Amino acid sequence: MDPRERILSTAVRLFFAQGYAQTGINQLIDESGLARRTFYHHFESKEALGAAYLDFAAGQWLANLGAAFDGRRTARSAVTSLFEVLESFALETRFRGCGLLNMAAEFADAGSEMRARVQRYKDAQRKLLREKFRDLGAAPTYADQVHLLLEGAIAGASAHLDVWPLRTARTAALALLPEEESRR
């Protein structure tokens, strides 16, 4: 890994696991195994690294959601696949919730640059789901409902420290499919 990647992968791990405020720049430098000067050469501040973390995490997450549609020929099958992705993620991360919303929670001001970034990525998730579901013949309203059920599922799993919210949300998403679709 080049130095920039080493810093970023350390940031991804620490910001997600510990939170942004709890992760000091010294820990980031130490665990990247680089000289302080090298660190600042790539990221001028913790804020810059925080923004890069959001970009990276969102890019990866959107790619995972997009891949959940690969080879799926019905909205029903895509929903099942989306919730499989979500369940793997929730279990792997021990119900840590959504990294983007966790970050947003630390930036209270609705006008902050960090929250604007989170908003941009949540908008991108909504758009992705609308496009993918449209290709499978499902309406934008349905895509938005699934989008919110995914948000509720991941928040719920994090709140209850359990998988039942993921399964309950999936059941709801399937029940919301129009009749003709759900009979396929």
Sites of contact with a copy of itself (CB under 8 A): 17-19, 21-22, 94-98, 100-102, 104-106, 108, 110, 115, 118-119, 122-123, 126, 141, 144-145, 147-153, 155-156, 158-161, 164-165, 168-169, 171-172, 175-176
Residue placing its CB nearer to a copy of itself in the complex, 5 or 131 = 131
Q: Which residue has the tokens 């920039």?
A: 4
Residue 94 C-beta: closest distance to a copy of itself, Å: 5
Instruction: State the angle between helix axes of 140-160 and 75-92 in degrees (0 to 180), rounded to the nearest 10.
Output: 20
> Is 32:12 a contact under the CB 8 Å cutoff?
no
Residue 21's CB is within 10 A of a number of other CB atoms, namely 10
Task: Give SS3 for 23.
Answer: coil
Cβ nearer to a copy of itself, comparing 70 with 179: 179
- Alpha-carbon span 18 to 67, nearest angstrom: 28
Residue placing its CB nearer to a copy of itself in the complex, 51 or 105: 105
Q: How far is the CB of 62 from a copy of itself (least distance, A)?
A: 14
Q: What's 181's DSSP letter?
A: H
Of residues 4 and 46, the one with the C-beta less far from a copy of itself: 46
Q: Taking the CB of residue 143, how many other CB atoms lie within 10 A of it?
A: 20
- Give the shortest CB-171-to-a copy of itself separation in angstroms: 7
